[in-house]
Structure 1
Amino acid sequence: MLIMGYASEDLIALLRKTREGAGMTQRELSQRSGVTQSHISQIESGKLEPGLSSFMALARALDLEPALVPRKLVPAVAGLLRAHAPLKPGLSESTRHSLSRALKLIESRRAAQGESPDLERVLDSLNMLRIAPLTAEDAVQLEAALRMITKTKSESPKALREAADVLTSLRNKVAHGRATSPRPAYALDEDDLDA
């Protein structure tokens, strides 16, 4: 969620940082958002002020949700966002390269042998994880799964299944959030009426 209380330069800088952190090019963002690449370039360089519809399309293509927040709630929302921010906003260059190579291998195997449930799981997971913000621990798991795929060239059905399991688990963990520590049932405070 974006907090609309910043100057437009800050919002544009946040969009650019998010795009770069996801390893997404302006062309890819253009395809996802429907905003032309030249407009994105001009917006990011400060030569063009984005219209509201363009800004909303760009933000949503980056999995951000612009929202109007009452001014006195901005500190609370900002604190909540900081508390849930990933430790590592994007993938390293080597991981992005490995991910691209793994995607090409899986696509070529799919073209040669046809579809299979494991291939589809790997493709779906890799496509989601390519743009998801990952913690350092998540990135290590992703790199291990990518090594399984690229070292065996995804020829081994067992290795492919193991990689699919690891990637699906990681994708679900990222998509559904981190597990929070359980609270004891007897811990009733005045603020915690739902415990």
Structure 2
Amino acid sequence: MELKRNITEIGSVLKARRLELGKSGAELAALVGIERSTLSRIEAGKTSPSWGTVLALGQALDMQPVLVPRQRVRAVEAVVRMNESSEAPPSTGEEW
């Protein structure tokens, strides 16, 4: 069940970012080289995209997918929330 939740969450995040950038589904699908219907299913959490597709979508949306050890997820989420609520630019690994 956790995998399904993660797939749905990935789709929601991708769609929100696409809308934030003002890109249409057709435009993003064309940039990545997938069918518009495939993007729609990914955004709806109805299909599990390959890691390559996630990377391509991330690049097209100016996002960086990362793998985080389970025991560190809450810490990473806290840092993201902290950066979202501050005026300062987000910290990156390059600045650490």
Same fold (TM over 0.5): yes
Residue 83 (structure 1) aligns with:
82
Is the alpha carbon distance of 1:26 and 1:82 closer, same or farther for their aligned partners in structure 2, counting shifts above 3 Å? same
Larger radius of gyration: 1
Shift of 1:86: 6.8
Aligned: 1:7 with 2:36: no
Aligned: 1:41 with 2:40: yes
Shift of 1:69: 1.1
Shift of 1:16: 0.9
Is the alpha carbon distance of 1:15 and 1:86 closer, same or farther for their aligned partners in structure 2, counting shifts above 3 Å? farther
Residue 63 (structure 2) aligns with:
64
State the Cα RMSD in Å. Answer: 2.4
Distance of 1:9 and 1:56 partners within structure 2 = 16
Secondary structure in 1 aligned to 2:84?
A: coil
Question: Is there any run of 5+ residues in structure 2 with no aligned partner, and where?
Answer: 90-96
Letter in 2 for 1:12: G
Please list every run of at least 4 consecutive aligned residues from structure 1 whose deviation after the TM superposition is greater than 4 angstroms: none
Letter in 2 for 1:35: I
Question: Is there any run of 5+ residues in structure 1 with no aligned partner, and where?
Answer: 1-5, 88-134, 136-176, 179-195
Distance of 1:77 and 1:23 partners within structure 2 = 27
Aligned length: 85
Identity of aligned residues (%): 32
Relative contact order higher in (CA < 8 Å, ≥ 6 apart):
2
Alignment of 1:1-195 (within 5 A): 7-85=6-84, 178=89
Shift of 1:15: 0.8
